[in-house]
Structure 1
């Protein structure tokens, strides 16, 4: 056949066959879209800070930043000393240190939860009522004057019988206070702790539906995180993954799964000295959470360390190295968010996050540029890998580890281009390979 001759194409199936198959799979297509909508494409905070309801104040975020900067000034006053503590390369030392300091001055907390559960404990009803109302007022004021964290909200008490009514009342007071102060902020996040049965998630959905109806809000306006702190939330009595049923029970309202390091470890009988986010029991739980959440739009958050960077310098350095190592370990496992329990944890949170993105962004940008331009290279990337590369760069941009100018210089892509690669249409991920 000559090079310019048109290829003859023949088929054997009638067009009705494809139509019949499409009709038979229509319910599956709908189910896929409903259950697995993909990542929402919004910013995911790198951490969540918990502050007890009675300790939360108008200057909490500023205070955390000031305390973190003071710790740096005292225990690692320059790039070289900070890098020496954490084992950063000479190339990373200055950019990580300068960006950490700038972050602590500009946006020390990305996600703050006013805690009315374990960090608050049982209080007289009038005291908790007042604390919930104060939290609503202060958060509303922070969003109005521009001092809020990108995400803020509360952790209520759980849906178990002894504290259920108290948790519902606190949530009602808090949400009502926000509505009275002008409406729910875009960055509102609620956390439901100690969930053991999917029915408790359903109860939370019904509660939020009732509030939305009472206040004339759009149905589905309020989402919430599910905290995974019990063995029953991972494995049900019939051997199935409870957490997967919880996501579906949330009816599209679940925004995250947060691993509770210490409650979960204790539930499994892990001794206090070994309760940590890198314990095999923790890895098992988070792996199940990760698989259950994949594709659903629900994000997974790691837990925390309770080893605080306090005391003499050598103790602070030990705690910093531990926290930095745990954060880097989590990032490598695709847990892009965690908890921070103390202001002195956040320098190493940001150091770990910034190092993770800065040390890999040049290679990621170059690979994505080759993929976008179809120029090839030493790695054959597919649409799914392009999605991962773009997501990596976007997360680095969101937290401040990277600047769009340096990414554009290396990749020749705008943020809109990155977002396009990070959120392809469902069929696009399989057009060129597995």
Structure 2
């Protein structure tokens, strides 16, 4: 697809990258077949091909309408289209750039979002990215949970006991990103991870200064704020990396997908570019680390009764499309005697998509209910996933337990 950049984007890093991405699109339409919002709405402009056309117009300097912003807002950024695209179009990067340019152009024209939308986005950026503030707010919500409206109660998980976290020191060390909402919403995920790694003779180290990975700010248009989060995390991790940390382990696939892009996103930052590349190279999802220890885990689980364990696995979009990791979770759980079933259309998004479930609740709930119907058709005893957003979103619509797959591994090991 041919594109001629407008003067305000010509010779800028973002413009050059966007031009390269758009140029790879051959307009074949394969992406529309796997786009969740296109399937729901049947509108060409609510599919990747149509959105690329809209962004192309903006990048070429044509007038920007609020309709363009709406169609980009409706995008889940699930990146399913990237898995389908035969031309290798990096749609996720394009939509990040396109959204920022659209916001800037509309703001310059005096077409700001309604005050309520701006306030909600501010709350999400400031509230979700501050673990202490979010944790305090969540505890208040948990205390008042029986009194909350059903829609809000579904987003407030009951208080969870994380169990005992190991304190033994080991020669082998890996870094663990705690995350911003996960420690409060589901503290057992990181605790279970630490227990499993402790059994393998690996100490998981937390850099206390590390916080939000930057995804919430970056994907809601605050690129500068997101990059600041990335720099802070690099500074927090760097002493541990220099001391020999073998990897940076991610228990939330949404965080992992972004941290693996630090090197690209900070490539023009003279101070951080090299360290960012190193951080991205060291970043591993849990499902990339633990298969190397499958024999040992299987031996440890060998004496535990395994009859009757059947789970439905929901692979998050940030894992299967963002990081292109497939099959590893299912294979590892199978080695531990667990029957794992993938539901129909397992490649499709559950509707959580970071802040999407708050910003686009109607579409999000339609996607969730469809996903749950297909997961329940597998007749599972539990549903497992690999991202806190998916887990919380799915649990809000079902009585079947929904958990991170590492929690199941922890249980199997006793």
* TM-score normalised per structure 1: 0.28
Q: Which has the higher contact order (CA 8 A, sep 6+)?
A: 1
* TM-score normalised per structure 2: 0.29
Larger radius of gyration: 1
